Amino acid sequence: MYYASTLLRSKTAAIRYRSLLLALGVGLTAASGAAAQTAPDSLGGLTRVFSRYQRTAVPEKLFLHLDRPFYTAGETMWFKVYAVDGTSGRPLPMSKVANVEVLNHENKPVLQARVELRQATGQGSFTLPASLASGTYTVRAYTNWMQNFGPEYYFHSSVTVVNTFAASGAAAQDSVKPYTVQFFPEGGNLVQGLPGKVGFQATSSSGKGVAVEGKVLTQTGAVVATFNTLRFGLGSFSFTPEAGTTYTAVVTQGKGKPSRYQLPPVYAQGYAMRLERPASGLLTVTVRATTTQPETVYLLGHAGQTIAVAAQATLRDGSTTFTVEPGQLPDGISHFTLFDAGRKPLCERLYFQPPRNKLTVTAQPDKNHYGLRDQVALSLATTAGAGQALGANLSVAVYRLDSLAAPRPADINSYLWLSADLKGEVESPEYYFTATGPEAAEAADNLMLTQGWSRFRWEQVLASAPAPLPYLPELRGPLVQARLTQPGTDIPRPGVTAYLASPSRLTRLTNAVSNADGLVQFEADAARGTRELVIQTDPRQDSTAQIKLLSPFSGRYAPALAPAFSALPSLEAAYTKRHFQTQVQTIFAPKEALRPAPAPADSLAFYGKPSETYFLDKYTRFKVLEEVMREYVPGVMVRIRKDGFHFMVMDKVNNAILTENPLVLLDGVPVFSVNKMMAMDPLKIQKLEVVDSRYFHGATVYNGIVSYTTYKGDLEGFELDPRALIQQYEGLQAQREFYAPRYDTPQQKQSRLPDMRNLLYWNPGVTTTAAGPRKLEFYTGDQAGRYLVVVQGLAPTGQAGSSRTVLEVKPAL
């Protein structure tokens, strides 16, 4: 495990963070796009403060391509991670680690992993335990940096897991599901005397939209509006609220009993915003207010880091209109916010612009149908624009379709440009990218009215100085965090140097200084698997600090997306079949399919090449370490004082003696007591290395380094300081390679080993180029049926795309 030195000083971290963002090419862009567009800093300073905030709050998004939406307990879930810039959609190689979790319907994690990201992509897997209960689970993913912006901004996707070891004949849920209806006034509020539009969303207990109709009544029973859902339980209606009136919606689902819902309150004073796209094609943003006095208002429109609209106007007789050319808006979701002259936000509205240049992915099989254990040749091509070939990074999954297949998850294009910027789950997001015509435009507008949200608060944006973001991006590797407090309390211990190490033959060490909150943050390398961490302070500086290791996973959760699961008795035969298939594959899977791929390790110590190296087996072995040091290590002088042994390193660079003790390490772990080190049995030590000059390491300067390495690298029973925190820690997930059998020869085809794979193929590392199609080859198994080929991909220029192709596998006649 390699640890790079780091300082937890906000100024140093901020400078390093900004410089690395510049090196990555991450910055603010601005674009003109509205009639009455004004100079960038003329809206009362709004564009300036917004730009300042966005330069420090770079939006980052993750998308996970899961190999399939349905699993049985005991199977393996494979996934690929794509990291992109939240504005442009381009791959963003900023974070080097992604946190991936599987949550149950109570929002509790059942599986967790930290996955390495390289060049904005990563891959991993979960083996679903045989004890995992049947249910609908949520897979979520996020980076450390994304924790600054709330759990709603994390990637979420629902999957179904059935435990075929348990009984599966649970009673089905009642076909008449309860539903709820929510109402959302356009712009934020209903204001008396001002025409207003209200969006509504009707959802069942499973979170899916339901078709309803209804009417809006006053307290006297007068009908002021009628409505019905258009698509996916969404709809809208318009009316002008009156003073002193409360409104109730009476909603009916089919022939069910009506339900009554109170509409949001009506305000006596305020503003109303109406966004429309008439036949002329221009967007109009109409602002109305209860005041009749002239008043200056500002309209700011942005998408991610792009300022698209910056305009001002004067309310005359309580009304004004802005016009915007939609073709100049960025792809995806634009936020329109209305401000008064004092920069106070008044109303907000969202508008969706489908991406105009997406990646077209084509997957062409070489045959119309295939036999059992037959070779499949798949041709992959990626194009953009008018059919021009464009290279892309792809992931490919091929799995069997059966009666247990769950609804298909969102594709990368609809997720990155729509779902990722909306609150809650978007039902059938691909509809908004493929449907055309007035109904599709109205459906998208209803979605913006009901599920829009902002990932930041305007009070944070408009603050005189931006608040520091507590979660730093993991720019080089995993960050390990701990907190130092006074014993038995939560009182922080600031300004204390702490050391992080892991016993190993690979000498790795890092240090950090605790901040005002007692937080220390160590920048670690890409070590994989579980290892033992040792965190301690130097007793000569601090001997009482209490150390607590912090989890890298987020403890905040978005509202649960996964509904309760109920198995259907009618599918009992299908459950039994999948159980048999899973068990056969588990029993007959080759051992190499279960082992993780070996990861390369850097054997160089954190201090580089030492000045002196001694392999003690080359010398006469002494039973006392003092004799070893005096006889064989001339670069280190041993002295005995009143308090015991001391080391003094000969500084050959400056031809001087360093009179203070050097840093002493045993298997990479600091040992601050030379007396304890000298009591170590030298026969357990294989190697000794010396750095014979001062060494600057993070916030600390060492008077040389004396590093001992045992044969096993496990401290050989050496007892560390009892104040040190020793804890098991899960590093980056060890990579596994997907295994699938090949049937190249007649002997392989005639093998008696059963092949009951449900997942025929998984490849997260496919790349295409502008030179032409990419060929992939794999083999079918022993199960006939229909198999779905799902390809997800992202181009370096930010275009995203996917494709779905069905393969037919038939037994030989």
- pLDDT tens digits along 759-800: 999 999 999 998 888 999 999 999 999 999 999 999 999 999
Distance CA 506, CA 101 (A): 30
Tokens in use for 585?
């594959």
Q: What is the pLDDT of residue 6?
A: 36
- Residue closest to 565 by CA, chosen among 253, 94, 143, 132: 132
Q: How many residues does the chain have?
A: 813
Element (H, E) at 440: helix 438-451
Distance CA 808, CA 453 (A): 43
With H, G, I as helix, E, B as strand and everything else as coil, classify residue 448: helix
Q: What is the pLDDT of residue 4?
A: 35
Residues whose CB falls within 8 Å of the CB of residue 487, separated by 6 or more in sequence, listed in order: 544, 545, 546
- Residue 314's CB is within 10 A of a number of other CB atoms, namely 9
Distance CA 63, CA 69 (A): 15
Structure-token match 């030195």, residue found: 5
Q: What is the pLDDT of residue 554?
A: 96
- Backbone φ and ψ for 731, nearest 5 degrees, come out as -85, -150
- Backbone φ and ψ for 475, nearest 5 degrees, come out as -75, -30
Chain CA centroid to CA 332, Å:
19
Distance CA 567, CA 571 (A): 8
Q: What is the pLDDT of residue 61?
A: 96
Q: What is the pLDDT of residue 532?
A: 92
Tokens in use for 79?
């996934």
CA-angle at 409, arms to 405 and 413, nearest 5°: 145
CA dihedral sign of residues 337, 340, 342, 346: negative
C-alpha pair distances (Å), 717 with each of 375, 482, 667, 713, 726: 55, 25, 12, 11, 14
Q: Quick check: 400 and 781 in contact, CB under 8 A?
A: no
Distance CA 395, CA 65 (A): 7
Tokens in use for 149?
């912006």
pLDDT along the chain (813 residues), means of 10: 36 44 39 39 77 84 96 93 94 97 93 96 95 91 94 92 68 58 94 96 88 95 96 96 93 92 95 86 93 92 85 94 91 93 92 91 95 96 88 96 74 94 88 91 94 70 80 93 93 95 92 94 84 92 90 90 65 76 73 58 85 93 93 93 94 90 96 95 96 92 96 94 92 90 92 91 95 93 94 96 95 79
Q: Quick check: 447 and 422 in contact, CB under 8 A?
A: yes
Q: What is the pLDDT of residue 36?
A: 40
Q: What is the pLDDT of residue 563?
A: 62
* Pairing of β 530-537 and β 332-340: unpaired
Element (H, E) at 579: helix 572-588
CA dihedral sign of residues 28, 34, 461, 186: negative
Distance CA 808, CA 811 (A): 10
Burial of 215 (0-12, 13-18, 19+ CB in 10 A): middle
Query: Rounded to 5, what percent of the chain is helix, strand, coil?
Result: 15, 40, 45
672-730 tens-digit pLDDT: 999 999 999 999 999 999 999 999 998 899 999 999 999 999 999 999 998 999 999 98
Tokens in use for 91?
């791959």
With H, G, I as helix, E, B as strand and everything else as coil, classify residue 127: strand
C-alpha pair distances (Å), 291 with each of 269, 294, 295: 8, 8, 9
C-alpha pair distances (Å), 707 with each of 387, 613, 680, 699, 710: 61, 10, 13, 20, 10
- Residue 718's CB is within 10 A of a number of other CB atoms, namely 19
CA dihedral sign of residues 238, 242, 243, 248: negative
Burial of 550 (0-12, 13-18, 19+ CB in 10 A): middle
Task: Give the helix ranges, DSSP H, for 91-225.
Answer: none
Distance CA 542, CA 498 (A): 9
Q: What is the pLDDT of residue 602?
A: 64
- Backbone φ and ψ for 448, nearest 5 degrees, come out as -65, -35
Tokens in use for 604?
């160089």
Q: What is the pLDDT of residue 42?
A: 60
C-alpha pair distances (Å), 448 with each of 227, 302, 353, 424, 445: 18, 15, 11, 12, 5
Exposure of 247 in the CB half-sphere (CA atoms within 13 A): 26
Residues whose CB falls within 8 Å of the CB of residue 438, separated by 6 or more in sequence, listed in order: none
- Residue closest to 663 by CA, chosen among 480, 795, 518, 540: 540
Structure-token match 């899977």, residue found: 589
Structure-token match 């100049």, residue found: 328
Give me the sheet containing 669-670, strands edge to edge.
612-615, 685-691, 705-710, 663-666, 669-670
Domains of the chain: 179-267 (2.60.40.10)
End-to-end C-alpha distance for the chain, whole angstroms = 57
Chain CA centroid to CA 503, Å:
30
Distance CA 248, CA 217 (A): 5
Contacts 24+ apart (CB under 8 A), 463-470: 466/52, 466/53, 466/56, 466/57, 468/10, 468/14, 469/56, 469/57, 469/148, 470/148
Exposure of 493 in the CB half-sphere (CA atoms within 13 A): 23
